Each structure stands twice: as structure tokens, then as C-alpha cells.
Structure 1
Amino acid sequence: MPARVCKAIAFTGNADLVGIGVVISYYIEASLTTLYLLVFTAWRIKRFVREQRQGRRRRCAGALAVEQSKVTQNPRGQGRGRERGRLARAGHRCFDALRGSLDGFLMAAGVLAIAILVAALVVEAFHTNERRRHPVNSQNVPSGHVLYDSALGLLVGLFAVFPPVVLYALLLQEDEWPRLHHHHHHHRKGRRTWLRRAVLVVLWALAAAVVFLDPPSELDFAYQGRVANSDDNFAAVLYACDQRGGLAYWQALEALKYLVIGVPVLWLAMTLGVYVLTGWRPWRPWRAARGRGRADEDGRLEKQAASEEIESKDGRAVGEEKETKIGRPAGDDQRSLLARIGRSVWRHMVAWLACLIMWTLLLYLTELRHNIVDVTDGLDMENKWAIGQVLAIATWGPVAVDFGFLLIFGIEAGLGSRLPLDFAIRQVGSTSSVDSAAEEDEDETGAAAAAAAAAAAQARGSSPDRANANSVHNRRRSASSAICRQTSSSTAETVGNDKTSVVGKCDCGEPVAPLALSMSSASSSAPSLLLRAQS
């Protein structure tokens, strides 16, 4: 078939679906999603390696006392440690910006995906109605974008589903830091968590509807890629200029009906299996909740936190067991290594697989768009800029502004500026940049301090257990001092009805616990704004 015949027929694409600005917006979304996935994967790997290294260092501190004592005599190593500390703080500042903007990016991607899927459903319903009213064999060869509307809508809709799936897998889960969910303002089953899950369910339902309604809306539904001798010239001309793939395209549509139902069900079954194998028992919280109110549970948690802050009379740490709980939950919330690592690995496997499918769909969409433009020889509007193309790129402007604001002013100021004046942001976890910098300093000096304490104990003839306890206490005090240097000593502010609360009060003489983000009302619960040890 000569190229001029296909150009005369002019089967063009839809600029609202594959215009140049819209395609750039797709690539921006996919690139940002991949960036978040890379950063969070590297962070979780680094966190696991650091935990393993710190555990080995604590176990081998006594055996390597002689070798570790040489570290204190190397000023060049100390300089490199300070340089690495500055680089680590800068890296954690960037990570905090990504972590703080993750939820906004997830919501923006979810809303965009829902809008695209609804638009695809509207287009398919319109073309289905038109095809039934005007059968294809009773009209001339059509022109315009009627041939590719349904196919492009299907590809774009399926592509838009995967960025929210990837981003949802990156959220901090309960099994990674259970203590945060025991805080007054962090509920295990928060409404926002269920909102995210509801968005994923809606996306799946809309995607399934698009897949099942796509075949009847196709222009060649009566032929489905097959041309018989009894057919008129319309089918021959149609498939000579068709860029979708002919019979293979229709076979893919048939397979998608099974995949869009079977793959999510298989994923749900495998996820439940992984969680059950790693110790998840959904019926235990229901049994524990019988006959016990929220006030009793909060009172028990307060007593547990208060008991963990008690130290021995001689000022030393309670013991090595207490030291190992820094940065990790205690009591009923203790998760095994298999649970924490296994579930995290499973979520990242799903995220990377979804990312691979996302890029495959986007590259295929780009190839199809390129072929359509080549056949029409520039007659369509896909490569021309218009107002809609610029607005499509501006979709991700708020995400970029949010990330830049958090990067410049910090996660506390960035998130706190969104709240009313009678609310405040405070830290209650160890993934912040301040605590991470303190951990870097502790990694550089903790082993040397333990070795020096052990050597001094041997010189005095004291017991090794007491020396180990003193070294643990000194390391905790050094970490506390590092945190206190980067935190305001005491700041009083008046909020609400002349109610004053103290924010960020820190006593450098006491060990400070790891911290994460939470919000608390300064007007109603001012005492909960105090920084206190939770180890």
C-alpha cells in the first residue's frame, strides 16, 4: 500500500492522550517514580547493613580492643569521619525532602491515574455507541483519530496505574517502625492508610473496566484483525495502514481480560502468604481489643515508656539489653528479623516489577505514537504545542515545589508550615537527619570509646562487664550531646487561648531516644510536645 494512501486516509492520534506535552508529563512521572524507588531501596539496604555492622561491633568490642585503640591515634581518620558526617547530613537532608514529599506525590499520581482511566472509559463508551449506530460497513473509510482512540486510552490508562503502586510500596510500614504507630497521634489503622488502599482498589476496578470495554469500542470490532475474501476493500485498507499490530493486538486484548483479574488476585494471595509466614496474625489484635478500651491501652503504653527510662542508682545504663533496643521497638511490638527483612524485600520486589511494567508500557506507547506520526507525515496535532500540552507538564509543578521547599528549609519547617497555628510538628523517630548524623558520629567514635574503656578497666583491674556498661553509657551520652547541639535548648511559644508549650526541650545529661515525624495539637495536649527518651 503506498504511503500516500495512508496519508490520505489520515488515521491520526489523539493529542489529548499522546500530545508532546502529555508524553513529556508521562516521562516526568515515570522518572520521578524511578528516582524515589532507587533512593528508598538504597536507604533500606543501608539501614540493614548499618544495623548488622553495629551488632557485630557490639559483640566484638572486647575482642578487638587492641586494634580499635589504634583508631584513636589516627587524626587523619577522624578528619575523614567529620567529612563523611557533613556529606551524610547533606544526603539525609535530600532524603528527608524525598520522604516528606512522597505522600503528596502519591496522591497526585493517584488522582491523575483516576482521571485518565475515567477519560478512557468515556471515550470507549462514546465510540461503542457510535459503532452501534453507524456500522462500519455502511460508511466510507473514516478519518481522524477514531482508529487509535481506544488503543491509546487503554495504554495510557494502564501506564497510569503503576506509579501509585510503586509509590505505595515505598511508604514506611508498621512492621519497619511499630513504635511510631503506638504514639497517641499515630494509629495502627489510620484513616489515611485506608484512603490510600481505597485509591488502589478504585484504580484496579477502573483499569478492569477499561480492559473489558475496550474491544467493543474498537473501529474494527467486526473484523478483529482478520480479513476474509468476502470482505470489502475497507478491511484491506484499514489493516494496511494500521499501526496497532493487527491480529496480535486483538490477541493481547483477549489476554488482558485474564491478566487484569488474575494478577491482582495472585499478588494479594502471595502478599498474605508472606505476611503470615513472617508472623502476621490479624486475629490477635481483635482478641486483645475485647473488653479493653483505648484509655487502658494508652495507660499501659505510658507505663511501659516510663519504665524504660529508669536507670540504675549508680548512674550507669540498665544493661546491654537496653542498649540493643535503641532504634528498635520493644515488648509485644518486637518484630523478628525475618519479618522485617522478608516483608521489605517482598514490597520492593513488587515495586521493581511494577516499575519494569510501567516503563515497558511507556516505551511501547512512545513507539506506537512515533509510527502514527510517521504514517500521517505530520498531518496530526501530536507534535504541536498548545495550552493543554503546557498544562500537562505543569501537573508535577506542586511536587517539585514541595520537594524544593523541604530541601531548603528542612522537613520540620516544610511540613509544619502546612498546619494551622495551633498545631506543631515534632520528631519521635531515628530516620531524621539529626539522629542520622549523630549515628554517623557514633559509628566513628563508638568502637574507639569502647576499646579505651576496656583498656582502662583492665589497667584498674575492674571487671569487664562494668567496663562494657560504662562504655555503653558513654556512647549514649555522646549521641545525646550530638542531638542536643542540633536542637534548641528550650523554646516556648503561645498558641491557642494563651496556652504555652515547651517544644524541643533537651537535657544533654540524659540519653535521647530515636525520633520520627508526628503531629500533635499544641492547644490540647501541650505536655506531649516535650522531647523525651523513649528507648
Structure 2
Amino acid sequence: MADTFYGWTPPDVDAALFNDSNCGIAAQWLSAVINSRYNDTDLSDPPLMATYQYITALVPSGGELPTFGQVAQWLAVGSDNSTLYEAMVQFPYGYCPAEMCEKLVWDGDGDLAGVGVLVVYYLAAMFSTLYFVLISSDQFEPFRALEYHHRRWNWIVAAFHETVQAFLDTGLIFSIAMLIASVYRHGSSRMHPDKSHSIYQLTNATYIGIFSIFPPVLLQIVSPNRRRRRIRAFLWLVAIVLAVVLTALYYSLETNADKVLNLLDRESAVSDFIWELNCEPLDLRQGLDDALITALVILIVNFLPWAYHIFVPRTVRHSIRDRSCIGRLNTTKPGRHGRDWWKYVLTIVRTTDGAICCSMMWALLGLFTKYRSVVLSVMGPENANTEWSFAQVFALATWVPVAIDLCTIYIYGAKEGLEGKVSENFKVVANDNNDRKSSNGGGGGGIDGPNDVDYSNLDPYQIVPAQTKSAATSHYDAVSNDTQMQYVGSGGQFADGQYNNGVFSSNDNSNNSNNSNNTVPYGGNMSYDTTHYGAGGAGNVVGQFAPQQYAPQQFAPQYDQSMTKEPMEEVQLMGQYVQPMQAGQPVQQVQQVHQVQQVQPEQYRSNTVSSVQTHGSGQSTQPVTYEYMPQDPAAMHGGVQQ
């Protein structure tokens, strides 16, 4: 005789309505039972309402419907060793996989697959791709034949050149943080298997950890790598070690069945077990594993040259290069690109390598996005992957400083944008040794001549290029190349705008240029209203103004960097004035030079322009003279007291 519960007899298993129409109710009940066991509430708070709805749906037509109390008594007393209860568990598990996956109480992985962090991944990929494309293209000087477009290109690409270092540091630190979190998740799953560590979450940790390396790899390929090389090499070493450890931990799950069973053989892992068996998109999981292997191969190939330059001493590298056929050809074979043909080849190789890394990065991100969307469709709308959390909102701020730097340098120009990041104790100067031709906003910051000057309303500073002649002598030239000023004395020092004892002479290019009377001694500490530029001259020219004081576009002075404490960036106007020296007059010592007052560029206008030329006869032409606007009471009108 069948057991009764408050007068109600459960239906027979064969007669119960285990059909597709009851899949939703059955999946809801099993999910509630699993959740109560996971939370240890199966005895104190069993899912009575879900059980009542499920039992009622199973009663065949014409059968006796139970009351809520009868179902509660059956669940508390008669469910143990009940064939009906076993059938109720097996039905949704074996015949309703889609409904079971949708109703399963499963959190997913909001930390690595949430909406906010997915946006962070795409921002990193898009920014790094944009940097790589623009900086790589700039190596080939696009729009070279179109002057206006070339200037525009230089201005735009300068923002990327000058912020790539900061972006690389940020991306590298972000990648290391992701790798540390991923390794910790794997380690915690082995040390604390009683906690919830699903294989799905471990897969996400491995995949995203490896993906996060590719944006900084792209930036490293196009980065000049001139600053903080040791620190960055150490960061790359940390990232590489973490990537190796993470990969080993992940693939140990596929080669060691005991570790997998250790994750699933617990009460809290029932949902994970059901997910892995019925819900996991296995075809996409296999695609993730294949992409992961390909990505690791690419990273290993990029790691080899890095290890060569880091661990092999420089002297050994130079010796290998000089003795190799590449080193000999690079110094002997002119080739189409001159003697820098090997540098050109390396540029092509780096660009190709970057394109491969960029493609792999987007393949990883696209495949993960597809995998995430399939998981979301299987899980249903109620899961952590579709919800915003505090950490996801916080993660969006990762790339904000990079975007701010990029916009600032684009708006104000490279010089002004970078000077805004340092204190007033320092100033930004251009590297004129750079082989790239550009304006203040150009790719390398180097300037070749007046025709390469790019003026823009976006930049309050207008750079006038400095033409370098010979590195053997220090010479200045106001407008013309006729007179070169050569420092020949001892004791002449330029320090904080002061000139100490020294002798300057004029080297005239005329036929009768050997005139010792043109040597003029200077004594005392002549103080000027300049910062890093000293005073000097030959005969009639004794001074130089800092670029902050005057900005006429008519001058392109020439200089040698050995004349100053620091490399000079913008030499725009030279000239203090003495009265012309007649032949036969004794050389007199300059006693005092007037202080130079600051004059805004818009208050200046030139009246006459004439280079100072000292000829063999000793007669010199009139010096350069200027006229200033009357509203400037501090303007100088020339003159050195003798």
C-alpha cells in the first residue's frame, strides 16, 4: 500500500506528467533545491512553494491534487528514498537542458566579463591600434609632397608621439594587474576548493590575462624606448613571468583530472557541474583554447629579441653585429636607402610584427565577445555579467589620463602640452638631433630649416628653426652667413644668463678675413634678462635674446650647442648693439650692457634688418637696428656704453 501524507497519495512515476510543458517548472524547482543546498538552507528553509508547483503540475488528469500542507509533509518525510523525488531531479537535468541553464542560479563572472570591463578592453584595443597605425605610418612620412596636409599630419601625430610612453606605462601596469589577479584566482581554486571557483571563471581569467598583454606589446613596438628602460624592462619581465605561470596553471586543468574533480566534487559546485555538462558552449571553448595557443606563440616570438637585448651585454651584441654579414653589409653596401638599409628593413619587420600582434589582439577580443554573448543567451537575463558594479565603473577610469594627455597635446601643441606637466623649475626643449622633420607638433620634434616651420593658431609658440653648420666651432649668424662668431677665449661661461670673462672674435668670410683687431675682450659679469642663453659677439654684436622675449619670424640664427649649458631649442633673435668700430681705433673694454626688458611678440615690428659684417679694413657696417611700438616704455633702442 502506498504511503499517504495527510490523506494524499503521490502519483506513480509512470503516470506523472514528465513532459516538455513542465520543463520550466521542473528547472525552477531543481535550481531552487541546488541553491538551498549551496546556502545550507535545505533543512531550515526548503523550497516549499517551488515543490508545491512542481508536484501539482505532475499530477495526471483525474488525479488528486495535493494541498500545500500535504506537499510539505511529503517533502519533509517521504522524499527520502522516493522514486518520485529521484525522477523529479533527473527530468530537468536530463531532458530540459536549455531551461535548466536559464533557471540555474549561477553568478557568471562580472569581474572579467561584465559590461564595464568589456568597455575597458575595447578602449585599450582601439587606442593601441590607433597609436600603432599612426606612429607606424609616420615612419614613412605620408603627405610629404603636400605641404599643408603634411603640416596637419605632423600636428596630429605629435599628440600620439608624445603620449605613447605614458600610454605604454599605463597599459603595462594594467596588464600586470590583470595577470596577478588571474594567477591568484587559479591559486585560490587549488588552495581553497571549497570556495566557488568555476572552470568558466578560470577560463576567463586565463584568456583575459593573455589578451591584456597585447595592447602594451603594440605600443612597445612603436615606442622609441628612450626613457626608463630599466624600469620598463623589469615590468616586462614581471609580465612575462606571470604569463608563463598563468598558462601553466590553466593547462594543468586539462592534463590533471584530479584537479578538475577537486573543483567539482563538492556541494557548492553542483551548479558549476551542471553548467559544464549541459550549458558550456564547447565549440567556442575549443576556439578559445586554439586562439590562446596562437597568442602564446606570437608572444614567445616577440619575447626572444627582448630577452636578447636585455640579457646579452651591449658589447657582446655589438661584436656579434659587427662580425655578422648583416653588420658588414650595413657599413659597406649603399643600397637604395643609403647605408641605413638595415634600419629600413627593421622598420618593415617591426611594422609587420605589429600588424600580426594587432590582428591577434582583435581576434582574441572578438572571440571572447562571441563567447560572452553565447553564455549570456544561455544563462538568461539574471546574471552578474549584465549588471554594473562599483569595480566596473572604477575600471572605466583606467584610460582617462591617457585621453586627457592626448587631447591636451593636440590642442596646445607638443611643447606647451608637455610643459604643462612639469614644474616651473624645468622647461621642455626640442631634440634637434632627431632625424624626423616636423613642426612643434611633428612626429619627432626635429626641425631642419625655415621652410619646415609650421605656424598654427593652436600653439602660442611659433618655432623658428636653428640651422646647424659645423660642430667644430660655435658660430652665430644674424640673417646672413657672412659673419661667423667663434668663441676663442678661455674662461667664458654661460650660466643662468650671465657672461663671465671671455674673448670672442669674428671670422669674416671675405678675402681679407685675417684681422686680429676684431678680437674684443669682455670683462665682468654681464647680466642679461635670459635664462639659459649667454651673451657673445664679434666686434659689434654682443648679445642674444631668449625666445620668450621676441618672436620675429625674419630670423633663423645659427648656433652650436657647445655654447650653452643646455641644448638650445628656439633661437629667434640675437643682438645687443655697439657703435661701429673704425679702423685703427683701440679695442676698448665693454663696461656695461643694458638690461633686456621683456617685449611681447605682438608689440614688436622690425624697421631695418642688416647683418653685422666686419671686413678686413676694420670698417664695419651699421648693426641691426629695430623699432618698437611706443606703448612699450621698456623697449631698448640699442647702445652699449663704451
Shorter-chain TM band:
0.5 to 0.7
Post-superposition offset of 1:355: 0.9
Query: Is 2:413 aligned against 1:410?
Result: yes
Residue of 143, 155, 163 corresponding to 2:207: 155
Partner of 2:230: 194
Equivalent pairs: percent with the same residue? 19
Structure having greater relative contact order (Cα 8 Å, sep ≥ 6): 1
Instruction: Give the alignment's TM-score, normalised by structure 1.
Output: 0.57
Match of 1:101 among 138, 155, 163: 163
Match of 1:87 among 136, 139, 149: 149
SS in 2 for 1:501: coil
Shift in alpha-carbon separation, 1:526–1:504, aligned structure 2, 3 A: farther
Secondary structure in structure 2 of the residue aligned to 1:338: helix
CA apart distance, 1:372: 1.5
Pick the aligned partner of 2:464 from 467, 480, 487: 487
Q: CA deviation at 1:284?
A: 4.9
**How far is 1:244 from its partner?**
4.7
Deviation of the 1:97 alpha carbon = 0.7
Give the Å deviation of 1:17: 0.7
- CA–CA separation in structure 2 for the residues paired with 1:488 and 1:126: 60
| Partners of 1:37 and 1:170 within 8 A in 2 | yes
Does residue 164 in structure 1 map to residue 216 in structure 2?
yes
Which one of the candidate residues 380, 385, 388 is aligned to 2:383?
A: 380
Deviation at 1:147, TM superposition (A): 3.3
Give the residue type in structure 2 aligned to 1:508: F
Instruction: Check 1:485–1:14 CA distance in 2 against 1; reply closer, same or farther (3 A cut).
Output: closer
Work out whether 1:3 is the aligned partner of 2:98: yes
- Equivalents in 1 of 2:308, 2:342: separation in Å? 12
Give 2:239's aligned residue: 203
Which structure 2 residues correspond to residues 64-79 of structure 1 after superposition, within 5 A? none
Please point out which of 365, 377, 389 is paired with 1:362: 365
* C-alpha deviation, 1:30, in angstroms: 0.3
Counterpart residue type for residue 249 of structure 2? L
| Normalised TM-score (structure 2) | 0.49
Say whether the 8 Å CA contact 1:120–1:157 is kept in structure 2.
yes
Please give the alpha-carbon distance, in whole angstroms, between the structure 2 residues aligned to 1:425 and 1:113: 30
Match of 2:131 in 1: 36
Residue number in structure 1 paired with 2:555: 508
1:117 to 179, 182, 185: 179
Q: Which residue of 2 is the match for residue 449 of structure 1?
A: none
Match of 1:24 in 2: 119
Q: In structure 2, the residue corresponding to 1:528 is in which secondary structure? A: coil
Q: Render the CA deviation track for 1:265-309: whole Å, top value 9, x for unaligned.
A: 5445578999xxxxx97235999xxxxxxxxxxxxxxxxxxxxxx
1:282 aligns with 2:317: yes
**Partners of 1:147 and 1:219 within 8 A in 2:** no
In the alignment, the residues of structure 1 paired with residue 271 and residue 391 of structure 2 have an alpha-carbon distance, to the nearest angstrom, of: 37
How many angstroms apart in 2 are the aligned matches of 1:162 and 1:199? 14
Structure 1 residue 530 displacement after superposition: 5.5
Question: What is the aligned residue count?
Answer: 368
Q: Look at both structures and tell me which one has the larger radius of gyration over its CA atoms.
A: 2
Amino acid at match of 1:487: V
Structure 2: unaligned runs, 5 residues or longer: 1-95, 262-269, 310-314, 323-336, 456-460, 467-475, 477-493, 499-526, 534-545, 573-642
Whole-angstrom distance in 1 between the partners of 2:284 and 2:371: 13
Work out the CA distance in 1 between the residues paired with 2:452 and 2:378: 68
Q: Quick check: which one's helix share is greater? A: 1
* Aligned partners of 2:114 and 2:385 also within 8 Å: yes
Stretches of 4+ aligned residues off by more than 6 angstroms: 217-220, 232-237, 270-274, 480-485, 492-499
Question: How many angstroms apart in 2 are the aligned matches of 1:480 and 1:164?
Answer: 33
Deviations 1:367-424 (A, max 9, x none): 1111111111012121222322222222111011000110111110111222232221
Tell me, yes or no, if structure 1 residue 345 matches structure 2 residue 348.
yes
Contact 1:12 1:148 in 2 (8 A): no
User: Contact 1:96/1:411 (CA < 8 Å) preserved in 2?
Assistant: yes
Q: Which runs of 5+ in 1 are unaligned?
A: 54-83, 135-143, 174-189, 226-231, 275-279, 288-333, 443-475, 516-524
C-alpha distance 527-101 of structure 1, shift in aligned 2 (>3 A)? closer
The change in CA–CA distance for 1:509 and 1:12 in structure 2 (over 3 A counts) is closer
Aligned with 2:427: secondary structure? strand
Q: How many Å apart are 1:361 and its aligned residue?
A: 1.0
Matches within 5 A, 1:206-285: 206-216=242-252, 221-222=257-258, 238-245=276-283, 248=286, 252=290, 256=293, 260=296, 263-267=298-302, 282-284=317-319
CA distance in 2, matches of 1:284, 1:145: 52
Deviations 1:206-231 (A, max 9, x none): 11111111245689944979xxxxxx
More displaced 10-residue stretch of structure 1: 15-24 or 201-210: 201-210
SS in 1 for 2:532: strand
1:529 maps onto 2:568 in alignment: yes
CA distance in 1, matches of 2:273, 2:359: 35
RMSD: 4.8
User: Structure 2: how far apart are the matches of 1:424 and 1:413?
Assistant: 10
Question: Is 1:166–1:354's contact at 8 Å kept on the other side of the alignment?
Answer: yes
CA distance in 2, matches of 1:123, 1:272: 28
